[in-house]
């Protein structure tokens, strides 16, 4: 091959690599992190639970859809539930109904591009703003006491919740992170080692979890999570400021912890103790889980 042809080939390959890096850096999250389901499936009514269809606007005017599920009996507080990257409200329904039965008002919503919300392309900044708008909507409801407001973020929703809370300066009584990944680069590296350096991490949990203090944070994770490996839970716990608690549940896969009655009770106890100013702290994990998860 002539020198000029080799130089041309090198230039073409270099350009292709740079173009690929640009795509991953600025569009990779949009291309690979979101798996929205459009429309609506089962609603709380299928379980005999009263609810209110809610429509509200994000910062850029995007119309978002959510469900407000009132507490059964006298309310102990309100919970904002922030779901993960897959599905829609119907998909996460089993993750929230138990809260209403335990006397908490619940507000769960779909990001842009999901469910009945406007069909616009998700991205980290927009989903953070969608979550902030959901918080503002919930706080503005007349039946909600802002001093008894709790947030549960699952998987990607934990990143969105932390970014929304800290960027927006919201104060809540407690935060629960379930199967949340430490950062966008870290979860990208789990699938494709080395690609994390190209991944935008501006709205990663790693940037915000330390700034929750003095809000108590409970981190939950299954040690058999194949989608978000459990080392992310230990990274979050190590980065968080007190008061903080980590529970690694044996044998559970991704976002399965809140389906377990004993973990549901743990979350309810955490809410009660946080409201009283006495949240439990420390790590609850078997030696096997610690060895398998922490790295």
8 in any annotated domain: no
Among 163, 165, 151, 174, smallest CA distance to 276 is for 174
6 in any annotated domain: no
Give residue-wise pLDDT tens across range 255-289: 999 999 999 999 999 999 999 999 989 998 877 77
Tokens of 171: 């104060």
Instruction: Give the chain's end-to-end CA distance (angstroms, integer).
Output: 48
pLDDT beyond 90 at 293: no
Rounded Cα gap, residues 101 and 150, in angstroms: 16
pTM of the predicted model as reported, rounded to 2 decimal places: 0.89
pLDDT beyond 70 at 45: yes
pLDDT beyond 50 at 20: no
List for the chain the helix, strand, coil content (%; round to 5). 45, 20, 35
153 in any annotated domain: yes
Q: Any idea of the CA torsion for 62, 67, 68, 72, to the nearest 10 degrees?
A: -170
119 in any annotated domain: yes
247 in any annotated domain: yes
pLDDT beyond 60 at 9: no
26 in any annotated domain: no
Q: Alpha helices, DSSP H only, in 33-119? A: 89-92, 97-101
Tokens of 197: 């350096």
What letter would DSSP give residue 38? B
**9-13, 86-90, 101-105: least confident range:** 9-13
pLDDT at 287: 77
Domain span at 130: 33-293
278 in any annotated domain: yes
pLDDT category at 218 given cuts 50, 70, 90 is very high
CATH number, domain with residue 267:
3.40.50.1820
pLDDT at 22: 41
151 in any annotated domain: yes
Tokens of 39: 């429309």
pLDDT category at 83 given cuts 50, 70, 90 is very high
Q: What is the mean pLDDT of residues 158-164?
A: 97
Domains held by the chain: number: 1
Q: CB of 110 within 8 A of CB of 88?
A: yes
């Amino acid at each position: 091959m002539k020198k000029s042809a080799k130089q041309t080939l090198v230039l073409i390959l270099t350009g292709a690599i740079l173009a690929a890096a640009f795509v991953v850096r600025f569009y990779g999250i949009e291309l690979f992190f979101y798996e929205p389901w459009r429309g609506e499936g089962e609603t709380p009514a299928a379980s005999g639970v009263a609810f209110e269809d809610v429509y509200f606007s994000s910062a850029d005017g995007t119309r978002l859809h959510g469900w407000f599920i009132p507490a059964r009996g006298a309310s102990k507080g309100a919970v904002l539930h922030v779901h993960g990257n897959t599905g829609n409200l119907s998909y996460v329904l089993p993750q929230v109904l138990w809260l209403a039965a335990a006397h908490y008002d619940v507000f769960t919503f779909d990001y842009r591009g999901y469910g009945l919300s406007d069909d616009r392309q998700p991205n980290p900044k927009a989903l953070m703003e969608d979550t902030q708008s959901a918080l503002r909507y919930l706080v503005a409801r007349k039946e909600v006491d802002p001093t008894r407001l709790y947030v549960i973020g699952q998987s990607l929703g934990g990143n969105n919740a932390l970014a929304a809370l800290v960027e927006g300066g919201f104060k809540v009584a407690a935060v629960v992170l379930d199967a949340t990944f430490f950062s966008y680069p870290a979860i990208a590296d789990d699938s494709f080692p080395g690609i994390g350096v190209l991944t935008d991490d501006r709205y990663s949990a790693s940037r915000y979890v330390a700034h929750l203090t003095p809000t108590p944070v409970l981190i939950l994770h299954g040690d058999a999570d194949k989608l978000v490996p459990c080392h992310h839970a230990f990274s979050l716990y190590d980065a968080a400021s007190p008061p903080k608690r980590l529970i690694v549940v044996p044998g559970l896969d991704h976002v399965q912890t809140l389906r377990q009655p004993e973990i549901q009770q743990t979350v309810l106890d955490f809410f009660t103790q946080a409201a009283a100013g006495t949240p439990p702290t420390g790590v609850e994990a078997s030696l096997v889980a610690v060895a398998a998860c922490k790295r």
